[in-house]
Amino acid sequence: MQEIAKLKEVLKAPQNIIITTHHKPDADALGSSLGLYNYLISKGHTVKVISPSDYPDFLKWMKGNSEVIVYDEEDGSKSKKLVEEADIIFCLDFSVLNRINGLGEYVREAKAVKVLIDHHRDPEAFADYGSHDIHSASTAQLVYKMIVSFGDKALITKDIAECFYAGIMTDTGSFKHPNTNKEVHEIVAQLIDLGADNSEVSRLIYDTNSLDRLKFLGFALSERLQVYPEYHAAFFAVSMEDLKKFNSKTGDTEGLVNYALSINGITMAALFTETEDGTKLSLRSIGDFEVNTLANQYFSGGGHKNAAGGKTDRNLSETVELFKKIIVKYNKELENKTPIE
Ligand code: 5GP
Ligand code: MN
């Protein structure tokens, strides 16, 4: 994989470009994609963003949102053709091709120059150029740094700055996680200088709840949270029926797992969500406990040290049973000096 700075030469002539990102994109995935999209358009390239799946309404304010192609909402042929015909494919905020579902094989086979910009662990070797840094808090800041390294900081408009700000804000847990270092604050300061309205971006993402979503949160906290103080672990197990009862939409469970992690003395938290073909899970941890390793070993997943995800074809209760066995096995590693009251 060649360093991303060398891509500047390739981008000198107008190119036919595809940008794609992971299944169920979050603010970093969509924000880095649309920030890059708007920049590349302004440079005269032909650009399309393809998302493997739909995404939450609270991300739909980003400039360029209405142009995003959702792969699993079309018959797939449009996306396949675009990927086959592309000169350059940017892969943002994911490190393994199975994160983009059926699109993954098209990207693998494509003749295009492939570019990976990402911060997840254990990247698959498929890209020709890349900016990959597991110590980076977000993909959005890696894209920002690429544009700056090309000498194009002046082309970052308010809209682009807000896309990147959204990615950095959410992937740092609103500047709370240990990945929030000096560079993060320096970059967001520059984004504010470039016009980003930080308070408004925060409102659009966090304070646009439906009443159903808040009621679901209340229900999940009172009825679906299980705490295992002796193992310093807690989790939510949510069924499809629960989701239906509260008219849940994509994104409504986002952030829920953090309530389990916020209990004083917890080392690892999980959210299990029943799906049509099994269970999807989100894992979070505090300190040295690596949830990406656990997600990979038991749930064909991955991610970061303190935030990872995966899925299994086991049903919800089987997944919960497996998880209970896992916390017993990792008893020592989960130890935490703070008792849970
Ligand atoms: P979340 O729990 O918010 O869905 O995801 C936490 C982190 O793990 C994110 O960085 C996300 O990209 C990653 N992640 C979530 N699900 C999966 C998965 O199924 N496979 C892999 N490799 N990573 C995942
Ligand atoms: Mn990210």
Say what the ipTM of the complex is: 0.98
Asked whether 130 lines ligand 1 (CB < 6 A), one says: no
Atom of ligand 1 nearest to the CA of 22: 12
pLDDT of residue 337: 82
Residue among 20, 21, 22, 59 whose CB has most ligand 1 atoms within 8 A, to mutate: 22
Please say whether the beta carbons of 233 and 334 come within 8 A.
Answer: yes
Asked whether 301 lines ligand 1 (CB < 6 A), one says: yes
Asked whether 307 lines ligand 1 (CB < 6 A), one says: yes
In which order are the strands placed within the sheet that holds 46-51?
A: 2-3, 129-132, 113-118, 88-92, 16-21, 46-51, 69-70
258: CA distance to ligand 1 center in Å? 14
The CA dihedral of 172, 175, 177, 182, to the nearest 10 degrees, is 100
For atom 3 of ligand 1, which residue has the closest CA? 282
Asked whether 96 lines ligand 1 (CB < 6 A), one says: yes
**Please, what is the angle between helix 182-193 and helix 198-206, to 10°?**
110
Check: CATH 3.40.50.920 for 2-206? no
The 3 state secondary structure assigned to 21-70 is ECCCCCHHHHHHHHHHHHHHHHCCCEEEEEECCCCCHHHCCCCCHHHCEE
Q: What is the CA radius of gyration of the chain?
A: 20
Question: What pLDDT tens digit does each residue of the chain (341 aa) get?
Answer: 999 999 999 999 999 999 999 999 999 999 999 999 999 999 999 999 999 999 999 999 999 999 999 999 999 899 999 999 999 999 999 999 999 999 999 999 999 999 999 999 999 999 999 999 999 999 999 999 999 999 999 999 999 999 999 999 999 999 999 999 999 999 999 999 999 999 999 999 999 999 999 999 999 999 999 999 999 999 999 999 999 999 999 999 999 999 999 999 999 999 999 999 999 999 999 999 999 999 999 999 999 999 999 999 999 999 999 999 999 999 999 998 888 88
Stated pTM of the model: 0.97
CATH topology classification for 211-329? Diaminopimelate Epimerase; Chain A, domain 1 (3.10.310)
- Sorted by where each begins, the domain ranges of the chain are 2-206, 211-329
Please say whether the beta carbons of 138 and 119 come within 8 A.
Answer: yes
pLDDT of residue 341: 83
